[in-house]
A and B are shown apart, each in its own frame.
Chain A
Amino acid sequence: MNDDPILDELAKAAREDRARSEDLVRDGGDVARADDEEEAFVRSVLAGGDDDALAAAAMNALQAKPQQDAPAPSPTLVRVEKTIVRTAAPREPKALRPQPERARVVAFLGAAVALAAGVLLYVKHAQREPDLPGYEAVLEGTDAPDRAAPQASTKVSRGAGLSLVARPKEPVTTRLEGAAFGGCGGALVRLPAPVQIAPTGAARVAGTPESLFGAGASGACRLTVVVAPAGRLPDRLEDARGETRVVEAAFVIEE
Chain B
Amino acid sequence: MVALTRELVDAAANGSPDAVRSLVTRIGPVVRTAVARILFRYKSRASGRNLAQEAEDLAQEAMVALFEDDAHVLRSWSPERGASLETFVRLVAERTALSILRSGRRSPFTEDPTDDFELALSSATSPSPEDTALTRDMLVTLHDRLKETLPPRGYLLFVRLFVDDADIATVAEEVGMAKDAIYAWKVRFGKVVRSAAQELANTATTNGGPS
Contact = CB atoms under 8 A, between A and B. Distances in A.
A205 B207 CA distance: 27
A193 interface: no
Nearest to A77: B106
Interface string B1-42: 000000000001101010011011100111111111100100
Contacts of B146: 10
Which of A14, A76, A138 has the largest count of B CB atoms less than 10 A from its CB? A14
A72 interface: yes
A161 B21 contact: no
A251 B52 CA distance: 23
Which of B24, B129, B140 has the largest count of A CB atoms less than 10 A from its CB? B24
Contacts, number: 202
A144 B59 CA distance: 11
Contacts of A28: 29
A161 B48 CA distance: 6
Given A9-B134, A64-B68, A160-B47, A58 B40 contact: no
A74 B20 contact: no
Nearest to B64: A61
A149 interface: no
A5 B51 CA distance: 36
Nearest to B144: A17
Given A13-B136, A144-B57, A55 B21 contact: yes
Main secondary structure on B side of the interface with A:
helix
Contact of B143 (A13, A51, A74, A143): A13
Contacts of B29: 25, 28, 46, 49
Nearest to A24: B33
A196 B63 CA distance: 35
Which of A60, A76, A159 has the largest count of B CB atoms less than 10 A from its CB? A76
A41 B17 contact: no
Contacts of B55: 45
B193 A6 contact: yes
Closest 9 CB pairs of A and B: A75-B57, A144-B57, A61-B67, A161-B48, A11-B162, A13-B139, A45-B36, A57-B60, A61-B68
16 contacts: A13-B136, A13-B140, A14-B159, A14-B162, A38-B40, A50-B56, A51-B24, A51-B25, A57-B67, A58-B23, A66-B68, A140-B107, A161-B48, A198-B109, A202-B112, A208-B48
Interface of A: 1-2, 4, 6-7, 9-15, 17-18, 20-22, 24-25, 28, 37-38, 41-42, 44-46, 48-51, 53-55, 57-64, 66, 72-77, 138, 140-141, 143-144, 147, 157, 159-161, 163, 165, 167, 196, 198-200, 202, 204, 208
